[in-house]
A and B are shown apart, each in its own frame.
Chain A
Amino acid sequence: MNTMKVNVVTPDGPVYESDVEMVSTKAQTGELGIMPGHIPMVAPLQIGAVRLKKGGNTEFVAVSGGFLEVRPDTVTVLAQTAEKSDNIDVERAMRAKERAEQRLREKQQENVDFRRAELALQRAINRISIAQGKL
């Protein structure tokens, strides 16, 4: 089976680096699956999971937005934050989720705050579900 190099890099350093057979993730336009030999492409990502298929098992990396850069033999994910499923701090994510829910309940009129809380909630839920393998 052909493989390609996958890098997940964040401002705080590289998070994941390996050869995989297939990458699938959620871009802003919808689900994307990439296999080796793909045409060069750039796509913004949604908050979600990057699934990396490798020799029969699948690894998960949680990303909060960012970009996917595809070349025939390499795939690079540029995200502002990213964690491998076993590196996720579930407790922290739980706390973040509660905070965000709290804020959403209070529903201040400020548009920006509302949007931010919503995004925070999405990120927290994303992390929790990836950490608990509910995908």
Chain B
Amino acid sequence: MASLRDIKNRITSTKKTSQITKAMEMVSSSKWNRGVNNAKAFVPYMEKMQEVTASIAMGSQDVNHPMLKSRPVKKTGYLVITSDRGLAGAFNSNVIRQVYQTIKKRHKSNDEFAIIAIGRVGRDFFAKQGMNVVLEITGVADQPSFTEIKDITSSTVGMFEDGTFDELFVYYSHYVSAISQEVTEKKLLPLTNIEVPSKPTSYEFEPNAEQILEVLLPQYAESLIFGSLLDSKASEHAARMNAMKNATDNANELIKSLSLSYNRARQAAITQEITEIVGGAAALE
């Protein structure tokens, strides 16, 4: 049986750990709140964007834009959104596993795909596997603003335009609720399946539909990426909050059972001492 001092030490260290996890849980929970709000603030922009894009792209039949057209796929792009830091439960591994399995299933050689990694965890994994990471971004803020990630989005969309890849999928963890996030795969480019609103408006175009699409489509694709990133951030903080809550709960459980054995050991020591004294006194008589 462990000595009194050993148990005491374990209790103290577990208490310290639980303090840390508790603090991390609280930090994540405030970040989670803000992340969800950011994702909400983005919705009106996205809805409008979607509406306008759909009305223009689907409304007029004679429009042609490279971003709307499927072309023969020689190379597939995968945009993988993970976090920079771990300690978020299965958040990162879920995303990475799905991407990894999909790539293994779909492609035979490294030349058939290109990976764009947002987040350190994903980047490290794919680089270690020797997979073709063409663009990587780490250190994205917890509350990313659109200007901050403009470079990422525009170079990603640029890669599609200049033919680095012929289709683009995005993988990220979609925020369902505080306790549930699910890995989502979305085909980003080419924009073949834009949801058409129930009652499309017929617009006048100033100067004309083609020129508007020229500006609108890249922006639309960029907003899709930004939206996924916000979604992923909200999930990340929710996942971390949960992981840390579980850790705190487990630590408390452990402290409880350790205190119990500590008290038992102490009681055993006292009993033993008394027996020894009584035994000694009896020997003297």
Name A residues whose Cβ lies closer than 8 Å to a Cβ of B.
7, 9-14, 27-29, 32, 39-44, 65-67, 69, 71, 76, 78, 80-81
Contacts and interface: CB of A to CB of B under 8 A. Distances in A.
A46 to B, nearest CB: 11
Contacts of A11: 42, 45-46, 146, 223, 226
Interface string B137-170: 0000000011100100000000000000000000
Given A12-B41, A13-B41, A40 B204 contact: yes
Nearest to A112: B158
A44 B215 contact: yes
A27 B206 contact: yes
Contacts of A78: 45, 48-49, 52
A110 B42 CA distance: 34
Interface residues of B, number: 28
B146 A9 contact: no
Given A44-B215, A78-B49, A80-B147, A14 B44 contact: yes
Interface string B193-209: 00000000111111100
A65 B205 CA distance: 16
B212 interface: yes
Closest 7 CB pairs of A and B: A13-B41, A43-B206, A11-B146, A41-B204, A9-B45, A44-B215, A42-B203
A76 B206 CA distance: 15
B56 interface: yes
Given A42-B212, A44-B212, A80-B219, A9 B206 contact: no
Contacts of A13: 38, 41-42, 44-45
B135 interface: no
Nearest to A69: B52
Contacts of B206: 27, 29, 32, 41-43
Given A39-B204, A42-B203, A42-B206, A12 B146 contact: yes
Contacts of A42: 52, 56, 203-206, 212
Nearest to B205: A42
Contacts of B215: 44, 65, 67
